[in-house]
């Protein structure tokens, strides 16, 4: 498996609007587009661009959202996951599994429109890790 660029850092928040206000006040930056729903992941999403990567703000979409528990433990929100690109999502999944890592579910369409999956933090030094197929390299 080939490790690609750090695509984004996922930040869970109880309110995307409040988080955007923080980025606006602290950095003077505006989001890349309006927030949008990502039902497949159970989150509402909005991106803020940095020159070399992005911050992915994620807010729960419904009570069954996978980030509800995280926000119960971290009411202000906080750093939730990191996302690395790979050239081939299916090869990457097979590679993680061959190494004994717990892949959480099947690859699903992520916020950038390419397939993603998550690797359990217990197999990644405590960091929930999203693996994403590099846009434009779909097989
Ligand atoms: Co993400």
The answer to whether residue 122 is domain-embedded is yes
Which H helix or E strand runs over 20? helix 16-27
The answer to whether residue 139 is domain-embedded is no
Closest residue by Cα to residue 40 from 138, 135, 117: 117
Select which of 56, 59, 130, 133 is catalytic: 130
Average pLDDT over residues 10-17: 98
* C-beta neighbour count of 30 within 10 angstroms: 11
The answer to whether residue 27 is domain-embedded is yes
- The predicted-structure confidence for 47-93, as pLDDT tens digits, reads as follows 999 999 999 999 999 888 999 999 999 999 999 999 999 999 999 99
3 CA → ligand 1 middle, Å: 16
The answer to whether residue 123 is domain-embedded is yes
How many domains does the structure of the chain reveal?
A: 1
Question: Is 130 an active-site residue?
Answer: yes
Residue list, CB under 5 A from ion ligand 1: 10, 56, 83, 130
* C-beta neighbour count of 106 within 10 angstroms: 8
The answer to whether residue 1 is domain-embedded is no
The parent domain of residue 15 ranges over: 6-133
The answer to whether residue 138 is domain-embedded is no
> What CATH number has the domain bearing residue 39?
3.10.180.10
- The predicted-structure confidence for 108-133, as pLDDT tens digits, reads as follows 988 888 999 999 999 999 999 999 99
């Amino acid at each position: 498996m080939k490790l690609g660029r750090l695509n984004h850092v996922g930040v869970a928040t109880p309110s995307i609007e409040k988080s955007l206000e923080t980025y606006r006040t602290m950095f003077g930056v505006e989001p890349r587009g309006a927030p949008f729903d990502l039902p497949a992941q159970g989150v509402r999403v909005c991106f803020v661009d940095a020159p070399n990567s992005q911050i992915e703000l994620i807010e729960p979409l419904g009570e069954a959202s996978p980030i509800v528990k995280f926000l119960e433990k971290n009411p202000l929100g906080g750093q939730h996951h990191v996302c690395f690109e790979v050239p081939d999502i299916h090869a990457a999944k097979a590679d993680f599994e061959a190494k004994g890592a717990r892949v959480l579910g099947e690859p699903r369409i992520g916020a950038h429109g390419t397939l993603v999956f998550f690797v359990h933090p217990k197999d990644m030094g405590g960091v929930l890790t999203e693996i994403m197929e590099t846009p434009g390299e779909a097989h």
